[in-house]
């Protein structure tokens, strides 16, 4: 087992390897990178993260199909669509997410952007809100409508349900983290990267346990907090950058790790 210094050096090297533009093309973050307008990035980033289970190639393909159904201008579609325009969304499906879920999501986004310039306020509704509180608030806010379908609730997780909230934490990483590597966008300014929680999916979970960074027997919200706390010992200001390392090692190296530098 590596000591703390060796483990930090190993992870830092893996961050350098995977936090690169070459990472984008095969990852769901590719989807918002197809857009330049801030709101387009937010909207397609949110959908790509909601769709993010299953094969990455399919996630990207279905996200781009959705963008095409919105004429390649998600924000304009969300704000200005007519009832007739919504017909273009009928029949959309990705795994268990269907057109009923999509139509409600568009309705939510339409209502939000009528009042706000950015999706950031849907999460970070006041200064110094923790990510845990932000995610709980977002789910409550998302479904704050009498028209919200019960079936759609399974697609938006919350720490209140003890969920690790992998997909939404990934979305927050995209929006909040900022560096000069070009993968994450850093377009939200009211929350610090140090506040983020590491996205905990199967691959990150597996690598983290092999490296002794995660001991909790359940892969839930408390496990995500435990992992993030351990990653903060390596970089207190930007712990979630190690998502690149943990995910990359599992996916690309199949956990056959060589610890020599």
Average pLDDT over residues 109-135: 97
pLDDT in the model for residue 253 = 66
pLDDT of residue 213: 98
Task: Write out pLDDT tens, residues 3-16.
Answer: 999 999 999 999 99
Task: Report whether pLDDT(243) > 50.
Answer: yes
**25-53 average pLDDT score:** 97
Over residues 186-211, the pLDDT tens digits come to 999 999 999 999 999 999 999 999 99
Residue of 200, 202, 205, 133 whose CA lies nearest to 170 = 200
Q: How far apart are the first and last CA of the chain?
A: 15
Angle at CA of residue 125, ends 122 and 128, nearest 5°: 130
Identify the DSSP state of 36. Answer: -
| Residue 2's pLDDT band (cuts 50, 70, 90) | confident
Q: Which pLDDT does position 27 carry in this prediction?
A: 94
Contact status, residue 192 vs residue 205, Cβ threshold 8 Å: no
- Share above pLDDT 70 across residues of the chain, in percent, rounded to a whole number: 97
Q: Is the pLDDT of residue 254 over 90?
A: no
């Amino acid at each position: 087992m590596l000591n703390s210094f060796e483990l930090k050096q190993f992870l830092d090297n893996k961050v350098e390897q995977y936090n690169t533009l070459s990472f984008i093309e095969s990852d769901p973050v590719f989807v918002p990178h197809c857009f330049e307008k801030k709101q387009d990035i937010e909207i397609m980033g949110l959908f790509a993260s909601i769709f993010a289970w299953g094969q990455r190639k399919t996630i990207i393909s279905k996200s781009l199909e959705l963008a095409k159904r919105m004429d390649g201008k998600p924000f304009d579609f969300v704000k200005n669509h007519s009832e007739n325009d919504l017909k273009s969304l009928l029949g959309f499906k990705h795994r268990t997410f269907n057109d009923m879920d999509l139509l409600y999501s568009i309705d939510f986004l339409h209502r939000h952007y009528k009042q706000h310039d950015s999706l950031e306020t849907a999460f970070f509704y006041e200064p110094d809100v923790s990510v845990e509180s932000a995610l709980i608030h977002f789910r409550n806010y998302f479904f704050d409508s009498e028209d919200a379908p019960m079936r759609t609730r399974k697609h938006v997780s919350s720490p209140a349900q003890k969920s690790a909230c992998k997909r939404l934490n990934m979305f927050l990483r995209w929006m909040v983290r900022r560096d000069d590597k070009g993968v994450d966008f850093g377009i939200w300014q009211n929350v610090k990267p140090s506040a983020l929680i590491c996205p905990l999916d199967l691959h990150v979970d597996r690598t983290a346990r092999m490296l002794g960074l995660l001991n909790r027997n359940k892969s839930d919200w408390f496990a995500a907090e435990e992992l993030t706390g351990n990653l903060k010992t390596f970089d207190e200001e930007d712990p979630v950058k190690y998502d690149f390392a943990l995910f990359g090692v599992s996916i690309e190296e199949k956990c056959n790790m060589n610890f020599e530098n």
